[in-house]
Amino acid sequence: MPRKPAPEPAESPGVADFEASLDQLERLVEKMESGDMSLDESLAAYERGVGLYRRCQQALEQAELRVKLLSEPERPDSAEPFPGIPGDA
């Protein structure tokens, strides 16, 4: 009996997690910048923001590793790091 090809996922969980975390982080920053939060609320929001930032950073690192593995599956250590964003100093 012929095998059916496995359906490809629309997005990997890492991408969806990154986008959701980034969206939450952006909304949190907007709320903090409005200046309408108490000190306790601001500290809690800052703590939450640090956690979201770390999740985003981890997702980006995982994506970079996947690209390296896909580019050079037999020699991922030989892959060059991504260049920085122009104007990012």
CATH number, residue 41: 1.10.287.1040
Count of the separate structural domains present in the chain: 1
Question: Is the pTM above the cut of 0.75?
Answer: no
Kindly state whether residue 60 falls inside one of the protein's structural domains: yes
d(CA 21, CA 9): 20
Q: Is 86 a member of any domain?
A: no
> Would you state the pLDDT for residue 13?
55
pLDDT score for 57 = 93
pLDDT mean over 24-44: 94
- The pLDDT, as a whole number, for residue 79 is 64
Backbone angles phi, psi at 88, to 5 degrees: -90, 105
CB 71 within 8 A of CB 79: yes
Q: What digits encode the pLDDT tens for the residues 38-83?
A: 999 999 999 999 999 999 999 999 988 888 888 877 776 766 666 6
